[in-house]
Amino acid sequence: MRTVVLAMLVLFTACNQQPATSKVSKEIEWIDLSYTFDSTTLYWPNNVKSFEHSTEAEGKTALGYFYSSYSICTPEHGGTHLDAPIHFSENKLTVDQLPLSSVTGNAIVVDVSVNALANRDYLISIADIEKWEKENVTIPDNCIVLFRTGYGKFYPDRQQYFGTAKGSRSYS
């Protein structure tokens, strides 16, 4: 199994930790799973607002130098993002508490796209994992398991991707 490191766009509202340093092996393959964060970004259908970008200042100041400053506001469930354990379970870890080792590492991809694209309500099951292991190897401990549903080909078409046109659309 080759080593894969996953890079995902994660927005932190506050982070007072120093960046971690590590040696990067030349044998590591980096795979960026993120979509562009822009006016085409999709937000979960129940989000009331979408991406908001405001100009706070732009132009020459009273002292004669150029200055620009902007504000953004966005729902947490937009585009490529990471749901922290606390999102679904009280008193669990927030994103800033997750160790980097929990979101990077060896990974495998279980392709369920044939079934998922044929049935929007398809539920991934243990049988999908067992089938992958039968065709490949037993999934090692602490391995990240990703599921390919095939729906990425529809992004950013809201109706095709989510199966509904409901929700916030684009930034204002």
Tens digit of each residue's pLDDT (9 = 90 or more) over 111-122: 999 999 999 999
Q: What is the rounded CA–CA span in Å between residue 162 and residue 7?
A: 23
Decide: helix, strand or coil at residue 125: coil
pLDDT at 21: 41
Q: What is the rounded CA–CA span in Å between residue 86 and residue 64?
A: 48
pLDDT at 75: 86
- Calculate the alpha carbon distances from 82 to 1, 94, 140, 168 in Å: 25, 10, 23, 19
* pTM for this entry: 0.69
Q: Which amino acid is at 122?
A: Y
pLDDT at 37: 77
Tens digit of each residue's pLDDT (9 = 90 or more) over 87-101: 899 999 999 999 988
Strand bridging mode 29-32 / 4-7: parallel
Flag residues of the chain having pLDDT under 50.
1-22, 24, 170-172
Decide: helix, strand or coil at residue 134: helix
